[in-house]
């Protein structure tokens, strides 16, 4: 697989690359080294793709390298299965990191020694305040009478002035497990009056007796993210630590730890995170959907996880195209999900095989068809790709058509079947409706009757005969039973987190966003493999799901054929 980061995307010039150019030109760094540092506490979602696409691409464009580092310092939420899923998803999108795979847990001893260094310098101390008391002492930002946010100074902990030797002794005993969980922390001594709350003596270590998925029970104290992250960057020689905008207020602390620990001077640069309408992009929020059973796991096709997108039928090329279009910014904004769907349609239009399937079956009987006769019609597999070739489709006297393609009493401008009207059957004949059968008890239409014109096969028609409607079909005797899963947006609101006071955003999940229907498909669908994509003509793009079993393929609708984004683009042009 070619590396998608091997060449810059169209319009790749941006503020981050300008910073990198300046750093190289000034001699601040001799080369470029970036990193993607996921925490293995969930599966990657499409928001993460913006981050690792940027880190891998910047490194490659400037002749550098990119590390994959797992920031695994929170043992109660982390697991090897998440590590495996993250690596699988990054590779699926086309990125490789070779030998540059690291884990923050490999640095636990070195991080401990950095903490000891800060204690010796008088820059860290052991505190006996509880978590709640620490938050209280640090203070909070409050608006004044002019509604201007002010941050009154915090209060020093009673244990802030402990001596160096006492702090060293207590910290060593914390490591040895002498104290209960949560009874003590190690805090940086910075400035309790600092306007940035992150600088008010942040916690560096906490006591937590949890078995770590990699190091077992070797440690009962674990470093906090704000302490571990900059020093892990420094230990790896990361030149440019690219992260999302919510870490901008943490940058002074990032720089403080690097400076006070006399470590490699990594530089943090922030960019706006990806937000998409009709979805939520946070592992914590997605975890809640999974744990509360509102979706069928992390790879539910309605989820914005890469595994969910892949199962739904998204391709790496479509996702990378989407990333190239949204660009970079320094302010947060919302991207319309219709753009992502548009990128998928454009890609699948070029690569997906065509097939016919009927999801709301209604029997069509051709009354003048020779009994027992079966013809084989030629169909193009993909009109955008000549190399895809053609296939043969069986045609007989009884077919399945869509129930919506017949109306007993047609509405205005209805060009499909109704009594007396003619339509063309895709790849086949022109047929004329002669009547229909109805269940007398329910009033439901059970079959449509028609006659065919033998001279109109495959587009031929005598005397330039034309009809306004063309419908799809499958031969009833040869059809493959299929299950189709039809998905809508998981949330009905564009901005799911913006809910009225007192309303839990999870309660707005659309419980009807997944519908399962049974239908019939043409014979070629029986040979599909998991992950194969098709355009079901007139219905949308579908992908074969891993749940499929021999004789019962299951298809997920990737996206409909209607493309509202393309209409917007044409208007703007």
Provide the annotated active-site residues: 39, 273, 283
Sequence-separated (6 or more) residues with CB below 8 Å from residue 541: 313, 344, 345, 348, 352, 533, 534, 535, 557, 558, 559, 560, 561
Give the phi and the psi of residue 451 in degrees, each rounded to 5: -120, 155
Tell how strand 142-143 and strand 240-244 pair up: unpaired
Write down the residue that tokens 């997944």 correspond to.
Answer: 514
How many C-beta atoms lie closer than 10 Å to residue 299's C-beta?
19
Sequence-separated (6 or more) residues with CB below 8 Å from residue 384: 349, 350
Tell how strand 240-244 and strand 267-271 pair up: parallel
Q: Are 355 and 522 in contact (CB under 8 A)?
A: yes
Helix axes 337-351, 316-326, angle to 10 degrees: 140
- Six token digits for residue 314: 């998204």
Q: Are 530 and 548 in contact (CB under 8 A)?
A: yes
Q: What is the spatial distance between Cα 536 and Cα 62, in angstroms, rounded to a whole number?
A: 44
**What's the alpha-carbon Rg for the chain, to the nearest Å?**
31
Q: What is the spatial distance between Cα 381 and Cα 354, in angstroms, rounded to a whole number?
A: 5
How many C-beta atoms lie closer than 10 Å to residue 140's C-beta?
10
Q: What is the spatial distance between Cα 546 and Cα 339, in angstroms, rounded to a whole number?
A: 27
Q: Are 114 and 84 in contact (CB under 8 A)?
A: no
Tell how strand 390-395 and strand 554-559 pair up: unpaired
Q: What is the spatial distance between Cα 531 and Cα 533, in angstroms, rounded to a whole number?
A: 6
Cα–chain center distance at 115:
37
Q: 3-state DSSP call for residue 75? A: helix
Give the phi and the psi of residue 141 in degrees, each rounded to 5: -75, 130
Query: Taking every pair of C-alpha atoms in the chain, what is the biggest distance, in angstroms?
Result: 103
- Six token digits for residue 89: 């998803």
Give the phi and the psi of residue 293 in degrees, each rounded to 5: 70, 20
Q: Which of 447, 466, 459, 465 lies closest to 366 in space, CA to CA?
A: 447
Q: What is the spatial distance between Cα 33 and Cα 491, in angstroms, rounded to a whole number?
A: 39
Tell how strand 422-425 and strand 375-380 pair up: unpaired
- Six token digits for residue 397: 């006297």
């Amino acid at each position: 697989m070619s590396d998608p980061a091997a060449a810059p995307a169209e319009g790749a010039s941006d503020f981050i690359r300008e910073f990198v150019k300046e750093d190289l030109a000034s001699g601040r760094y001799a080369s470029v080294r970036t990193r993607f540092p996921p925490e293995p506490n969930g599966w990657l979602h499409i928001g993460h793709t913006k981050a690792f696409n940027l880190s891998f691409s910047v490194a490659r464009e400037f002749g550098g390298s990119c590390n994959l580092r797992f920031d695994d310092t929170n043992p109660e939420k982390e697991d090897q299965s998440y590590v495996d899923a993250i690596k699988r998803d990054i590779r699926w999108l086309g990125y490789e990191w070779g030998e540059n795979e690291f884990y923050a847990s490999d640095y636990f001893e070195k991080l401990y020694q950095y903490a000891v260094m800060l204690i010796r310098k008088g820059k860290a101390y052991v505190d006996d305040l509880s978590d709640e008391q620490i938050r209280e002492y640090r203070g909070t930002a409050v608006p004044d009478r002019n509604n201007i946010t002010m941050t009154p100074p915090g209060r020093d902990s009673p244990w802030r002035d402990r001596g160096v030797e006492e702090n060293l002794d207590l910290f060593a005993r914390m490591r040895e497990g002498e104290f209960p969980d949560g009874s003590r922390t190690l805090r940086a001594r910075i400035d309790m009056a600092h306007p940035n709350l992150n600088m008010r003596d942040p916690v560096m270590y906490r006591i937590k007796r949890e078995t770590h998925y990699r190091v077992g029970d070797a440690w009962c104290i674990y470093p906090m993210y704000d302490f571990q992250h900059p020093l892990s960057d420094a230990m790896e020689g990361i030149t440019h630590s690219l992260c999302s905008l919510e870490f901008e207020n943490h940058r002074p602390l990032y720089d403080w730890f690097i400076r006070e620990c006399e470590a490699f001077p990594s530089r943090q640069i922030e960019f706006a995170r990806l937000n998409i309408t009709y979805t939520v992009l946070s592992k914590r929020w997605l975890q809640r959907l999974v744990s509360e059973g509102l979706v069928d796991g992390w790879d539910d096709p309605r989820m914005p996880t890469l595994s969910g997108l892949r199962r739904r039928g998204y391709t790496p090329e479509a996702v990378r195209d989407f990333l190239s279009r949204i660009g970079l910014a320094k302010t947060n904004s919302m991207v319309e999900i219709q753009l992502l769907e548009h990128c998928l349609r454009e890609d699948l239009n070029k690569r997906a095989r065509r097939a016919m399937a009927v999801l709301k079956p209604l029997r069509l009987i051709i009354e003048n068809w020779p009994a027992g006769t079966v013809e084989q019609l030629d169909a193009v597999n993909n009109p955008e790709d000549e190399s895809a070739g053609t296939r043969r489709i069986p045609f007989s006297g009884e077919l399945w058509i869509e129930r919506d393609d017949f109306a007993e009493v047609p509405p205005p401008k209805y060009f499909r079947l109704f009594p007396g009207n003619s339509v063309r059957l895709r790849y086949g004949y022109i047929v004329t409706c002669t009547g229909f059968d109805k269940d007398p008890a329910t009033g439901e239409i059970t079959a449509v009757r028609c006659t065919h014109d033998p001279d109109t096969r495959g587009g031929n028609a005598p005397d330039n005969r034309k009809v306004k409607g063309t419908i799809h079909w499958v031969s009833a005797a040869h059809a493959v039973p299929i299950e189709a899963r039809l998905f809508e947006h998981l949330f009905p609101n564009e901005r799911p987190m913006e809910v009225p006071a007192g309303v839990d955003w999870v309660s707005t999940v659309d419980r009807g966003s997944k519908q399962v229907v049974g239908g019939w498909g043409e014979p070629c669908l029986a040979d599909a493999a998991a992950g194969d994509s098709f355009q079901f003509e007139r219905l949308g793009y579908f992908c074969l799901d891993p749940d499929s079993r021999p004789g019962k393929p299951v298809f997920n609708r990737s996206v409909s054929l209607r493309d509202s984004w393309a209409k917007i683009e044409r208007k703007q042009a």
